[in-house]
Amino acid sequence: METRGSIVHGSSFRRVLGLVSVGLTTVALSFAASTAHADLRYVRTPTKALPDGDHGSAKATCPSGTHVLGGGQYVFSGLNDATLDTSTPFDGDDRGRAPDDGWKSTVRSFSASNTLTVFAVCAGSEPSYAKEVIHVGGLQSFTGRTTCQRGRVMGGGARLPVSFDDDAWLESSSPFDGNDADAQPDNGWTATGGVGERNLDMTVTAICGSGTLKYSADRGTAPAMSFGEAAADCPGESRIVGGGTEAIGVAFHPITISSPYDDGDPNNKPDDGWQGEFDNYSSSDPGLITAFAICKV
């Protein structure tokens, strides 16, 4: 079984996660941004062992007084050994109803050697959250999207409320470009998911805000029965606030990794870009993957 550690492999995956080598701690770590981006906070959970033949979940909770702008997960697994069911902002136990309190990811795991790390990017300024619910089921993939009514998209996610036996998966969760004049993927969030055993609702959430944002992307390929990888850098001195992953081109291509990363600079924070990975289940056809980085100037 090929596995992936804190230094990820492949031509696109040349990054480290910005993790402190503390083993399986019980405390989530929070990293403050540099002075130029002092409002940003980067939170990651302890690395969690996933079960063999069951779901595993983790939540990265934003510090008090901050709101989630984006998030994702790093799934350490072998080829065709895990699928992602949920990667989404969540609402905690506060009085508000907005899903602004952190990030939750749920993985369908087929091996006890798999692990999960969840990331949240948080800030004191509160964004807005747009949702869309679509029906999925019948051994097919379905795509939904939700549009930012105010501002530009900063992050987003998708939730499939499933059990392990539902045989569900997310194929893509990424920003999109609408019908406006520019060519930036800044208008909202789109996600593609499927479920084999029953019909259910998938919730797609866009996190929208203001400020000067830059969008970058990187594309990679996946040979038949192999991994597809991509990593998009934040340009200049900008810092990551959110990101997503899109996988296309084969019949079944669940994503696993979609997370911020650290490029090895001295600050040891996962603030330098966004990386994605998917498993190509096809025995004959190649696939494509695009990682999107949404960065604050």
Q: Please say whether the dihedral angle defined by the alpha carbons of residues 28, 188, 129 and 41, taken in this order, is positive or negative.
A: positive
Judged by DSSP in three states, 278 sits in strand
Q: Spell out the long-range contacts of 22-28 with Cβ–Cβ below 8 A and sequence spacing 24 or more.
A: 22/46, 23/47, 24/48, 24/49, 28/60, 28/61
Judged by DSSP in three states, 35 sits in helix
DSSP state of 36: G
Q: CB within 8 A of 93, min separation 6: which ones?
A: none
pLDDT in tens, the chain (297 residues): 333 322 233 333 334 454 332 333 335 777 776 656 889 999 999 999 999 999 999 999 999 999 999 999 999 999 999 999 999 999 988 777 899 999 999 999 999 999 999 999 999 999 999 999 999 887 788 999 999 999 999 999 999 998 898 888 999 999 999 988 899 999 999 999 998 878 889 999 999 999 899 999 999 999 999 999 999 999 999 999 999 999 987 778 899 999 999 998 888 899 999 999 999 988 888 999 999 999 999
The model's pTM is 0.89
Q: What whole-number distance in Å separates Cα of residue 210 and Cα of residue 42?
A: 19
Write down the pLDDT at residue 252: 80
DSSP state of 86: E
Write down the pLDDT at residue 35: 59
Q: For residues 46 and 26, is the Cβ–Cβ distance under 8 A?
A: yes
Write down the pLDDT at residue 24: 34
Q: For residues 230 and 219, is the Cβ–Cβ distance under 8 A?
A: yes
Write down the pLDDT at residue 19: 39
